[in-house]
């Protein structure tokens, strides 16, 4: 049986792996379909401490992985399809591998930004299409930006982006916003924010290198229009990657793992959660890394107590 398995390789999982490996616990780290997590979708990261000249998201993640490997973390590519957390050893079914059994488990599977699924969107991620205003807003100083969505995330992103942009246009598919009143009021009272309500995005237009506009259809008039913009922030929500847990770990209404406040402990002793899979508030690389460190330290203590208990039993 393994001592510890880490599922997910964003900043949370990789930080946990670095700490666990340095503690000689030989973690096995399972990388899913998006190795490196959401940061691999961004270009320049300028707010991760320690890099005064910035670093690209993919490079930051490569460095973290290398650091974990250097101390002995083992990596395996695979998709966790099922877990059984009912016994003392947790069982994991991973596509392409034989069943894994582990004493402790760190869940750092993150959350994925929902995308519009329209032509031009995927190809232009990092070329004007973004899902993170805090990460990328700075690159649109003095430019016209579009934010898509009508919820609290869209209002928050739009307000934040007015610090940089000359104009932020909120594009929403309905006439009514889903956002809370206070967030709506804040956006409505911001003179830099303009509105395209009842507009459904249908295509991201680019010159082959950078985004140039967002084509929308007005669902009342049926008229098509291209909104000229160099930046499109998709803020239509996130979905935490918790489906494979099949209800065995407590989650909130939105599907995020619930941890005991101030810890990374879940409702099952020996299972810890860190990063965006348990955080829909901050969603930053540095906060994810911080909780990854917490999970590793708590896991270490858990394994020590299990070992002490086993010794008493002998």
Catalytic-labelled residue, pool 53, 84, 135, 207? 135
**What string of DSSP letters covers 67-109?**
HHHHTT-EEEE--EEEEE-SSSSEEEEETTSPPEEEEEEEE--
Least distance CB 200 / ligand NAP (angstroms):
7
Q: Which is nearer to ligand NAP, 154 or 285 (CB)?
A: 154
Residue 102: count of CB within 10 angstroms of its CB: 21
Kindly name the residue from 53, 136, 252, 274 that is annotated as catalytic: 136
Q: How far is the CB of 242 from ligand NAP (least distance, A)?
A: 15
The yes-or-no answer on residue 199 being catalytic is no
Residue-wise DSSP of 238-279: EEES-GGGTTSS-B-TTSPBP--TTS-B-SSTTEEE-GGGG-
Residue closer to ligand NAP (CB basis): 152 or 167: 152
Do residues 128 and 120 touch, judged by C-beta distance below 8 A? Answer: no
In whole angstroms, how close is the CB of 231 to ligand NAP at the nearest point? 17
Q: How far is CA 244 from CA 92, 143, 232, in A?
A: 10, 41, 31
Binding residues for ligand NAP (CB under 6 A): 116, 149-154, 156, 173-174, 178, 180, 236-237, 280
Residue 190: alpha-carbon gap to chain centroid: 28
Whether residue 274 lies in the annotated active site: no
Cβ 202 to ligand NAP, closest distance in Å?
Answer: 10
Is 228 or 254 the residue whose CB approaches ligand NAP more closely?
254
With 0-12 / 13-18 / 19 or more C-beta atoms within 10 angstroms meaning exposed / middle / buried, residue 27 is buried
Q: Is 207 a catalytic residue?
A: no
Q: φ, ψ for residue 283 (rounded to 5)?
A: 50, 35
Q: Closer to ligand NAP at the Cβ: 156 or 205?
A: 156
Which residue of the set 132, 199, 274, 299 is catalytic? 132
Residues recognised as catalytic = 132, 135-136
């Amino acid at each position: 049986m393994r001592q510890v398995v880490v599922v997910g390789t964003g900043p949370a999982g990789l930080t946990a792996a670095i700490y666990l490996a340095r503690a000689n616990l030989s973690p096995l780290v399972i990388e899913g379909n998006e190795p490196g997590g959401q940061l691999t979708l961004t270009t320049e990261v300028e707010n991760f401490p320690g890099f005064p000249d910035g670093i690209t998201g993919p490079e930051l993640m490569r460095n973290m992985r290398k650091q974990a490997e250097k101390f002995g973390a083992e990596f395996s590519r695979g998709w966790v399809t099922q877990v059984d957390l009912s016994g003392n050893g947790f069982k994991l079914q991973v596509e392409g591998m034989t069943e894994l059994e582990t004493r402790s488990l760190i869940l750092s599977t993150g959350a994925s930004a929902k995308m519009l699924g329209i032509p031009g969107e995927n190809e232009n991620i990092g070329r004007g299409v973004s899902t993170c205003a805090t990460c990328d807003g700075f690159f649109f100083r003095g430019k016209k930006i579009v934010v898509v969505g009508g919820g609290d995330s869209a209002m928050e992103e739009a307000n934040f982006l007015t610090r940089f942009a000359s104009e932020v246009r909120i594009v929403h598919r309905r006439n009514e916003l889903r956002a809370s009143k206070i967030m709506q009021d804040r956006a409505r009272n911001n003179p830099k924010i303009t509105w395209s309500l009842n507009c459904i995005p249908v295509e991201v237009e680019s010159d082959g290198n950078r985004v140039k506009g967002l084509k929308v259809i007005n669902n009342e008039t049926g008229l098509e229009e291209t909104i000229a913009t160099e930046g499109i922030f998709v803020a239509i929500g996130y979905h935490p990657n918790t489906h494979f847990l099949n209800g065995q770990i407590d989650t909130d209404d939105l599907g995020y793992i619930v941890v005991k406040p101030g810890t990374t402990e879940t409702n099952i002793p020996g299972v810890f959660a860190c990063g965006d899979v348990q955080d829909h508030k901050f969603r930053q690389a540095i906060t994810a890394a911080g909780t990854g460190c917490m999970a590793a330290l708590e896991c270490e203590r858990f394994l020590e107590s299990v070992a002490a208990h086993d010794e008493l039993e002998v």
